[in-house]
Amino acid sequence: MLEREPAPAVGARPVGVAVKEIDEKLYQEIKQARDICLLAVVLEERLQFVLDNYAEWESELLDQAQEHLLWQTRRSDAMQQRLTLDRRLANVLTAFRLYVDHTDTSLSDIFGKDSSELDAIKKLKNKLYDDCFGYRFLEALRNHVQHCGLPVQIVTFHSGFVDGDSKKDIQFSVIPYTSLDILAADKDFKKAILDEIKSIGEKIDLRRPIREYVSCIVRLHREVQKVFSKVIIDSKEFYSKAVEKYSTIDGHTVQHPKLIYRKDSEEVEEEVHLISHFLDRYDVLNRQNLNVGNNISKSFVSNAIKI
């Protein structure tokens, strides 16, 4: 059964709604393909969410260093700047946790909770946890922030000569620390990680472990992309063909195609709109995320001039 609004006049922009009734099996296949394509967009947006929050954290450090260079920082300003860094870092930690948790859920939904695909990603996360201090430290710090307190306890405004510069340019920076004593007061903070911190000192510069964790998330995302690659490609192809097939009626293009199916009664059981604009969104994000650098843990932005 086919329903449509009157065809537009010759030369007019195609408008209208196409409603096509199909059998339940085909309906469910098209709907599942669409849902997987939507999930593909969400997977890429999750990484973008992590990277955007991380970029805001790094930019805040640079902004505060610039303010210190120009105006020097009064004590009252420093307290507010520390609170701003706490907010930025809390956002980073939340974004990390959402990425890790939601990725597991997506794998389970598509492949099953006992699937080899989900198992492979869990094993990679365990390896990253074991191999990278920044990964396991940030996991523990997030739990601390959720239950006990803010992550940044000490902020140092540093200035010094740029190494190797014969003109002796002065470089300003902001260094955020967390305190071993405050973390140790949290009875739920993992002792093994506290012992690692003790080997570093009474306080720990947060910049490098955060960069290490971001690098781990990027590496994890590369593997997630590989796991989902085939099912996304197949679903995208199948869904695109369905959209193309049901978007034309009597030679006219219809902007809003919709599929329905009925069971035993005359009432419509379900309906699905064949939207497709998000497919372009996926292509853009996928290309963008594939180009994310692999050396974030050992890279940083600086305006220092080297001669």
User: 7-33 pLDDT, tens per residue?
Assistant: 444 444 444 667 888 888 999 999 999
Asked if residue 143 lies in contact with residue 187, where contact means CB atoms within 8 angstroms, the answer is no
Asked if residue 260 lies in contact with residue 20, where contact means CB atoms within 8 angstroms, the answer is yes
Cβ neighbour number for residue 108 with a 10 Å cutoff: 14
Q: Which residue has the tokens 């379900």?
A: 270
More confident position, 206 or 8: 206
- Let me know the angle formed at the C-alpha of 127 by 126 and 131, rounded to the nearest 5 degrees: 120
Report helix, strand or coil for 189.
coil
More confident position, 1 or 223: 223
Looking at the DSSP bridge assignments, the partners of residue 172 are: 159
Q: How many CA atoms, within 13 angstroms, populate the side-chain half-sphere of residue 168?
A: 0
Report helix, strand or coil for 133.
helix
User: 60-109 pLDDT, tens per residue?
Assistant: 999 999 988 898 766 668 889 999 999 999 999 999 999 999 999 999 99
50-64, 218-232, 263-277: least confident range: 263-277
The letter for the amino acid at 61 is: L
Q: Give me the mean pLDDT over the 219-235 stretch.
A: 96
pLDDT given at position 72 = 79
What CA–CA distance (Å, rounded) separates 210 from 47?
15
| Average pLDDT score over the chain | 88
Strand order in the sheet with 268-273: 2-4, 17-21, 256-262, 268-273
More confident position, 252 or 59: 59
The letter for the amino acid at 262 is: R
What CA–CA distance (Å, rounded) separates 212 from 300?
12
Asked if residue 155 lies in contact with residue 84, where contact means CB atoms within 8 angstroms, the answer is no
Q: Give me the mean pLDDT over the 154-181 stretch.
A: 85
- Let me know the angle formed at the C-alpha of 174 by 168 and 177, rounded to the nearest 5 degrees: 135
Q: Residue 167 — pLDDT band, cuts 50, 70, 90?
A: low
pLDDT at residue 4 above 80?
no
User: 232-259 pLDDT, tens per residue?
Assistant: 999 999 999 999 988 877 777 777 788 8
Number of helices (H), then strands (E), belonging to the chain: the values are 8, 9
Q: Give me the mean pLDDT over the 255-274 stretch.
A: 78
pLDDT given at position 300 = 87
pLDDT exceeding 70 applies to what percent of the chain? 89
Report helix, strand or coil for 62.
helix
CA end-to-end distance (rounded Å), the chain: 75
Burial of 233 (0-12, 13-18, 19+ CB in 10 A): exposed
Question: Torsions phi, psi of 275, nearest 5?
Answer: -70, 150
User: 96-149 pLDDT, tens per residue?
Assistant: 999 999 999 999 999 999 999 999 999 999 999 999 999 999 999 999 999 999
19-23, 37-41, 91-95, 221-225: least confident range: 19-23
pLDDT given at position 126 = 96
